[in-house]
Amino acid sequence: MRVLLVGAGGVGTAITRIAARRSFFDHVVVADHDLARAEAAVAALDDDSRFSACRADASDEEAVAALLREQRCDVLLNATDPRFVLPLFEAAAAAGAHYLDMAMSLSRPHPEHPYEQCGVKLGDAQFARAEEWEKAGRLALVGMGVEPGLSDVFARYAADELFDEIEEIGIRDGANLTVEGYDFAPSFNIWTTIEECLNPPVVYEAGRGWFTTEPFSEPEVFDFPEGIGPVECVNVEHEEVLLVPRWVDAKRVTFKYGLGEDFIGKLRTLHALGLDSTAPVTVATSRGPAEVSPRDIVAAVLPDPATLGDRMTGKTCAGTWVKGVKDGAPREVYLYHVVDNEWSMREYGSQAVVWQTAINPVVALELLADGTWSGSGVLGPEAFAPRPFLDLLSAYGSPWGLREQ
């Protein structure tokens, strides 16, 4: 297997460090718009000849397709932010390569009823091309990070092995991470964080389908394992709600994120000031007027999450809460994956949140490489057998847990 990895930021760099310990692939080409960043990711791998670096513009579909052909890559692994999903998805299709991402094509709120009805949903643009990918015999495995990704594998595992009937599947994400020296330092890409937190959250209910609510709706306190403890969680737009119902029979599906009151307050302020907007505005500079988006300015002034590991302490938890019936009796479980920042920094030099995201596409690629997973079309993680994934995740030295509620 030859892989084109597009994006050498925190997640992309963590992917290289995890993959370097495995033998299932022949070569990984690490591409980034900043060549120095791609070269740094490769240089950190102790002269592993299976990795090389090059420059690539993720927005240039034709150039990326040409790079896939030139490097004879079988699969494109997208480790960029969601703005570049569609050009990379289309580049892979044009080059006849398989495709894998960790976030799906962007949504657009309903123009008249944004907090009641869905407009364009996450992933709609990709699922619209599913038939073409299937006819071409190529696989686009979408949403294969941690959330979405591992959380979806948990949902399928629960449906296959733990429940006869599922009332609700709720993704619940929480952490007790702190960053020394910063009042506001998100542990993940702020562009993506703003997008998913300030868009109308989507909820799924059988018989009603997908619908939206106001941001930060339905607050609840969820008790996270391994010492993290109770965290208030709220509805946030996320891919799982759009993926899980396509393959798993559940009466309700939600995603709630443990953001905390302070974090929510800062996001509300950004929104009130218009600083979450992606529409360019004209800014006076010493070199004359410049067109920039307010959200890009916010991202530029905040620290790069990939550089925060040495200042971070605590753990992050991704998991899937499931309520239903097994053998005629009520059952409620939480399937989860916890990463301690001290451990991920010591073992891989990557902070916990990006490392937890990065391990899952590597596991998926290994399952695809050895034929354990196979398929064609546009498929989510729920479309594949979950047990091999969970077993291999543990074999990577990162076990998952199950708690009866």
List beta partners, residue 339: 316
Task: Find the length of the chain.
Answer: 405
Is the distance from CB of 202 to CB of 303 less than 8 angstroms? Answer: no
Beta bridge partners of residue 229, listed in sequence order: 224
Average pLDDT value over all residues in the chain: 95
Q: Strands 377-379, 139-141: parallel, antiparallel or unpaired by DSSP? A: parallel
Q: Is the pTM of this model over 0.85?
A: yes
CA 81/CA 9 separation, integer angstroms: 10
- Of 268 and 143, the structure prediction assigns the larger pLDDT to 143
pLDDT, one tens digit per residue, over 306-347 is 788 888 999 999 999 999 999 999 999 999 999 999 999 999
Reply yes or no on whether the pLDDT at 390 is more than 90.
Answer: yes
Give the sign of the dihedral formed by CA 303, CA 16, CA 72, CA 385: negative
Say if CB 77 and CB 88 are below 8 A apart. Answer: no
Nearest-10 Cα torsion for 153, 370, 16, 18:
60
Contact 366, 24 (CB under 8 A): yes
331 residue type, one letter? R
Residue 22 to residue 188: CA distance in whole angstroms: 26
Band of residue 265 on the pLDDT scale cut at 50, 70, 90 = confident
d(CA 283, CA 370): 52
Could you please report the per-residue DSSP string of 60-110? -HHHHHHHHHHTT-SEEEE-S-GGGHHHHHHHHHHHT-EEEESSPPPPB--
Q: Are 404 and 332 in contact, with CB atoms under 8 Å apart?
A: yes
Q: Which residue has the tokens 């959250």?
A: 201
pLDDT digits (tens, 9 = 90+) for 55-101: 999 999 999 999 999 999 999 999 999 999 999 999 999 999 999 99
Q: How far apart are CA 252 and CA 266, in angstroms?
A: 30
Write the DSSP assignment of 144-203 as a string of letters. -BTTTBHHHHHHHHIIIII-SEEEEEEEEEEE--EETT-SS--SS-HHHHHHHHHSPPEE
